A = this chain, B = another copy of it.
Amino acid sequence: MTKNELVDQIFLKKSFLCVGLDTDLKLIPKFLLDFEDPIFEFNKKIIDATKDLCVAYKPNIAFYECLGSKGWDSLEKTVKYIPKDIFTIADAKRGDIGNTSKMYAQTFFETYNFDSVTIAPYMGKDSVAPFLEFKDKWAIILALTSNESSKDFQLMKEDGEFLYERVMKTSFEWGNDENIMFVTGATHPEKFQELRALAPSSFFLVPGIGAQGGDLDKVVQFGRNKEIGLLINSSRGIIYAGNDKNFAEKARESALELSNQMKKYF
């Protein structure tokens, strides 16, 4: 998907919501366990219930991988089921040397046909560049993440520049706002003005709203640009809003609440 197509969808739906598909056999409604593929069954119902309210879906790959080859089958079916006008993110946080990064890129972009993959930048250019060689595909690079221990290394500072700033600046030597996005956690709302100044026209994937405590209004106030430039992710807060036969309706209500909050920014 191109940047223009994504922006069009955002303005059409008046939403920049991303629904995180952290689908866990232990947390989905029990009655689904009777289906042949409970994970896919759950995702299908969640997608049906939320697809008019969001512009992206983000399966967290760990939750599929832990089920072995069956989990990968559920993932494949899920990606195929997502409507083509909705942006797909493989939240995989891969990052390796060049020839291996290329394999990962092929996996997610070709085998599974995702639009984007999240990338850990620790190994530098080799971890990212192979992902940028695929047309209309995206690398979403971890910059300042939402978790508590993001401070352990991301706030290391040299010459007045934090590691996450260096990651963002350096990445523009490899790609641009049409093939790179950044992960910037909603748990650092005070940083969004500075993050936006570092990458004025880039999209930010923003986890940390909801369960992790981030504040939507502050993130939008300081982080938006004229194309919005934000994908706000919510996973558990939406998909586990209900835990019974009505789970999909509950998920819709929760997604609707967030997407309604977003309408005022258009």
Contacts and interface: CB of A to CB of B under 8 A. Distances in A.
Interface centre among A124, A126, A163, A167 (most CB of B within 10 A): A124
28 contacts: A60-B100, A62-B94, A62-B104, A63-B103, A66-B106, A69-B69, A69-B76, A93-B96, A95-B95, A95-B120, A120-B120, A120-B123, A122-B122, A123-B147, A123-B149, A124-B150, A124-B151, A125-B149, A125-B152, A126-B147, A126-B148, A152-B170, A153-B166, A153-B170, A156-B156, A156-B158, A156-B163, A158-B158
Q: Shortest 9 CB-CB distances between A and B: which pairs?
A: A124-B152, A124-B149, A69-B69, A125-B149, A62-B103, A66-B107, A69-B72, A120-B120, A97-B147
A227 interface: no
Interface in A94-125: 94-98, 100-101, 103-104, 106-107, 111-112, 120-125
A191 B209 CA distance: 42
Interface of A: 22, 60, 62-63, 65-70, 72-73, 76, 93-98, 100-101, 103-104, 106-107, 111-112, 120-127, 142, 145-154, 156-158, 163, 166-167, 170
A246 B62 CA distance: 38
A97 B207 CA distance: 11
Given A123-B149, A157-B158, 7 more contacts: A62-B96, A65-B103, A98-B147, A120-B123, A122-B153, A122-B154, A153-B163
Contacts of A147: 97-98, 123-124, 126
Contacts of A103: 62-63, 65-66
Nearest to A207: B97
A95 B91 CA distance: 11
Contacts of A145: 97, 122-123
Nearest to A72: B69
Contacts of A70: 69
Contacts of A156: 156, 158, 163, 166
B122 A142 contact: yes
Most chain B beta-carbon neighbours within 10 Å: one of A93, A94, A145: A93
Contacts of A167: 153
A93 to B, nearest CB: 5
A149 to B, nearest CB: 3
A157 to B, nearest CB: 5
A150 B122 CA distance: 8
Given A123-B150, A158-B157, A62 B100 contact: yes
A142 B124 CA distance: 12
